[in-house]
Structure 1
Amino acid sequence: MNSTLTYSQAESFLLRLFQKVNLPKDKALATTKILLEGELLGHRTHGLQLTMPYIEHIKSGSMEIEGTYDVLNSAASSKLWDGKYLTGPWLIQKGIKKADVMAKENGVGTVVIQKSSHIGCLAAYLEEATQNGNMVIIACSDPDNKTVAPFGGTTGVYSPNPLALGIPTETQPLIIDVSMSATSNGLIHQKNKTNEPLEHPWLITPDGEATTDAKTFFEDEPSTILPLGGLDSGYKGFALGIMIEAMTSALGGHGRSSEPGRWGASVFIQVINPKKFAGESYFKREMERLKEQSLASKAANADRPVRMPGERGLALKTKQMKSGLRLRNDTFEGLQKLSEEFGLKL
């Protein structure tokens, strides 16, 4: 099976596919771009693998496709939007642009979005967003997801809650995308599907034992995900998970207390303009110097030298743009099934 697609082949297929389910052109373009960017950066669970659930949620009506967001609150440097469960990538790209405009004038622009649909890979938004010299922060939670246990507990309370930052330097930007949990829901589903163990004991059973067995996540009394730091220092990840809940759902006015019963996201977007602080040139120089010092640090393992956040993903993106996207078998098979269902050629 040839599971390699060129960027243009994948882009063309996705756009035609989203057209088949009546997703408006602007939302189809935004979603296609983010799913492909996630795949290019190597985030396989949050790249083209998301095409299948996105199509299902569009078909079922749980991902809305028509209309636009409502502005619920507005100030010079902050906005609160009701995303009305519209297409997540479209909402986030709109939010970044609005925050960018506010930051140009005020130094900082913040957009918080309640009731977005799934927003994909957070890292996928960052390289482009830093090209004008701004720092970008994105965080999200899913108020309907309770798969992460608080430190010291075994019952799921909140979602993996990723935090992403795009930081410009004099050369390649730093791209940080870290969940406040030991692993993601997507990776657990992948490992369960392929009957593989997790790389580390990132789950905790109802009996309080850490495990690598992804299948326990799907039992009647399921295991849950440990907070970032695991059994040793997961109190730190738990605290950071609470921080994300405050930044997203609490600021957004729609969260777990609302009991949404629907797959979605509460989102925090902030753009920071260094020109309104110490200046863009100093900011980039300072971050470049830190990068140089980090890379020059003596490696603990000569075969694994220090790597900056986002470095591997950006290198993989460059490689895949030239040689094509080598898809996981299950991703390719899922796209093939969709091509047959909608009468499209992959």
Structure 2
Amino acid sequence: MRHPYADLVAHAAHLLAAAGLDGDKPTVVAERLVRADAMGHTTHGLALLPAYLRDIGSGAMTRSGEPAIVVDRPAAVVWDGRRLPGVWLTARAVDLAVARARDYGTCTVVIRRSHHIAALAAYLTAATDAGMMVVVASSDPAAAHVAPYGGKRALFTPDPVAIGIPTEGDPILIDISASITTAGLAARLTTAGRPLPGVWALDGEGRPTDAADVLSTDPRGSLLPIGGIDHGHKGYGLALWIEALTQGLSGWGRADGEAGWGGAVFVQVFDPELFAGGPAFRRQTEWLAENCRANPPIDPEKPVRLPGSKAAAGVARAQAEGLELFPGILEALVPWAERLGVAALDGRA
């Protein structure tokens, strides 16, 4: 069943507002969660809403107010997120960085002590629609799912990074992580009693495995970095970089004994107009885009596509025809709707 895009956003926003989020926070969070589902990131969309509502109720997510300003220079900003909704904080950080990049060419905003920020790809078009390139990265200093290459004890989170690159046509939207897979997918497969699609993890003794439940076993295992057993030093290096961007530049993280589900966030925006110029930038990126799409495919039935093209098509279809959610997502919201006094989505949940 396809549900109208706007109805899903409104329903999620009503739940968040009923739980206690103030101002524009419910709408901003709801829109980014639904957009994540439309883009295909179904473990990082509305599937997260029950956990967000739980944390609002317990006080683990701050309901109201603004981030505390730690540093505010023209092109470098540090916020203490005060456990405010990470989705809202990150969306505001991108908007601020876009505004300041128009004057300074680039602007970086880093956030410490944010709550979870969901799917990074959902923030990119706020910059690319303005003709700017954007980088968003995050880590959770309180969580550990990925061991350093050569080790067997989890130390890092999957540490995602997303990049939005404007072209003359649709933007390139890259969303990757330093690990082969996410903790969210591992949890979903564990619940379904299914293995990982490949040997993407280590068990508690450091042996390669496709078992999805390695993060809940005793001894606890870990997810493998990008590159896996043979070339995992690549993902290990990427994780070190992302942890330095998010926790090092924000000045708060694992070294402080951070606790509680949350995030450290890095946002950087570049305005090509203040470098070699927007047309020159897009001339180069459009050449790349055209030549990637024109590259002879290995399988003639599967032409080469650019990162973000499938996600953009998913959002366009969802907004025009409605969105089909991953099974169980709406059902998980029904108890929250009853508890918070919010009507179920057209009775179809």
- Taking structure 2 as the reference length, what is the TM-score of the superposition? 0.96
CA distance in 2, matches of 1:216, 1:78: 39
Q: Which residue of 2 aligns with 1:318?
A: 316
Where 1:46 maps in the other structure, the secondary structure is coil
Report the AA paired with residue 193 of structure 1: T
Q: What amino acid maps onto 2:204 in structure 1?
A: P
1:316 Cα deviation after fit: 1.3
The correspondence of residues 251-330 of structure 1 with structure 2, limited to 5 A, is: 251-330=249-328
Q: Which residue of 2 aligns with 1:184?
A: 182
Q: Give me the identity figure in percent.
A: 36
1:245 to 243, 246, 249: 243
Shift of 1:237: 0.6
Quick one: distance in 1 between partners of 2:309 and 2:181? 20
For 2:163 and 2:39, the matched residues in 1 are separated by: 15
Deviation per CA, 1:238-270: give whole Å up to 9, x if none.
001000011010110110011111111111100
Shift of the alpha carbon at 1:97?
A: 1.8
SS in 2 for 1:238: helix
Instruction: Give me the whole-angstrom Cα distance separating, in 2, the residues matched to 1:196 and 1:340.
Output: 31
**Preserved contact between residue 10 and residue 27 of structure 2 (Cα < 8 Å):** no
Query: Deviation at 1:228?
Result: 0.9
Residue 340 of structure 1, CA deviation: 2.6
User: Larger deviation: 166-175 or 128-137?
Assistant: 128-137
State the 1:216 CA deviation: 2.9
Which one of 60, 64, 67 corresponds to residue 65 of structure 2? 67
Give the corresponding residue for 2:220: 222
Shift of 1:322: 2.2
State the Cα distance separating 1:207 from its structure 2 match.
2.5
Give secondary structure in 2 for the equivalent of 1:186.
helix
Aligned residue identity for 1:94: R
Q: Match of 2:232, SS?
A: helix
Following the alignment from structure 1 to structure 2, what is the Cα–Cα distance between the partners of residues 265 and 223? 22
Q: Which amino acid aligns with 2:47?
A: Q
Partner Cα separation in structure 1 for residue 224 and residue 237 of structure 2: 13
How far did 1:116 drift? 0.6
Instruction: Measure the CA separation in 2 of the matches of 1:139 and 1:10.
Output: 26
Please show how residues 38-77 of structure 1 align to structure 2 within 5 Å.
Answer: 38-77=36-75
Distance, in Å, in 2 between the alignment partners of 1:121 and 1:229 is 22
SS of the equivalent of 2:130 reads coil
AA partner of residue 345 (structure 1): A
Indicate the residue corresponding to 1:198 in structure 2: 196
Structure 1 match to 2:339: 341
- State the partner residue of 1:108: 106
Correspondent of 2:125 among 127, 147, 157: 127
Q: What SS class does the counterpart of residue 137 from structure 1 fall into? A: strand
Taking the aligned partners of 2:106 and 2:127, their CA distance within structure 1 comes to 14
How many residues are treated as equivalent by the alignment? 344
1:331 is matched with: 329
The amino acid of 2:291's aligned partner reads Q
- The answer to whether the 8 A contact 2:105-2:274 is kept is yes
Whole-angstrom CA distance in 2 between matches of 1:100 and 1:292: 26
The aligned counterpart of 2:134 is: 136
Q: Per-residue deviation at 1:70?
A: 1.1
Q: Does residue 1:232 correspond to 2:210, yes or no?
A: no
Q: Which residue type is aligned with residue 259 of structure 2?
A: G
Which consecutive segments of 4 or more residues in structure 1 shift more than 4 A? none
Give the gaps of 5 or more residues in structure 2: none
Cα RMSD, aligned residues only: 1.1
**Alpha-carbon distance in 1 for matches of 2:53, 2:187:** 18
Query: Structure 1: how far apart are the matches of 2:64 and 2:206?
Result: 45
The reply on whether 1:6 has 2:4 as its aligned counterpart is yes
- The alpha-carbon deviation at position 311 of structure 1 amounts to 0.7
* TM-score, reference length from structure 1: 0.97
- Secondary structure in structure 1 of the residue aligned to 2:218: coil
Contact 2:90 2:117 in 1 (8 A): yes
Distance 2:25 2:92 in 1: 10
